[in-house]
Amino acid sequence: MQILDIGCGRNKIVGAVGLDQIPLPGVDVVHDLNSFPYPFEGNSFDEIYATHVIEHLDSIVRAMEELYRLAKANAKVVIITPHYSDYISWTDPTHKWHLSTYSFRYFREDYESSYYSTARFETEKIHVDMMRLWRALGFEFLINFSLQHQSLRFIGKFWEGYLSLMVRAGAMTFILRAMK
């Protein structure tokens, strides 16, 4: 199984090819992450991880198109990024994007304006980590449960649209599948 860890820094996933723009220990390939294409053949990877990197890139759409190019059919793509309600999303001056649980719907075949990109991903799972207080009070469970059941999606939508700046989240994990 071929695994790519984009923006791995010092914390490369064991067994993965580490790609980063800084030559840190563990980085296998040094490359500007805003410069496309990345130095790999298309359809090369079974799994691709982008942990706390996508929010730093110039174009999420272009980066997702590159991940799609690199992914084999049905490849697993895991993206971890701060939720926009997390203060870290706003205090890091290198963050260019502030994302929500809806941000990667853009790459679904049935999305209303998906014709602007050729990258196609289906969402397998979204998990939101919440601040300790909200986790202890059961909000994290409720939001994540609603994200996994389409009939309850209105709960997550209400939280994200009206309550998320009070009932704040931390990081979000997206597990996507490349649809080729």
pLDDT at 115 (0 to 100): 78
pLDDT tens per residue across span 61-86: 999 999 999 999 999 999 999 999 99
The answer as to CATH 3.60.20.10 being correct for domain 3-130+172-178 is no
Domain segments of the chain as ranges: 3-130+172-178
DSSP codes of every residue in 72-100: EEEEEEEEEEEBTTSHHHHH-TT----B-
Q: What gap in Å lies between CA 34 and CA 56, rounded to an integer? A: 9
47 has pLDDT over 80 = yes
Whole-structure pTM value: 0.94
Please give the average per-residue pLDDT across 134-157, as a whole number: 95
pLDDT tens per residue across span 81-136: 999 999 999 999 999 999 999 999 999 988 888 778 999 999 999 999 999 999 99
pLDDT at 116 (0 to 100): 85
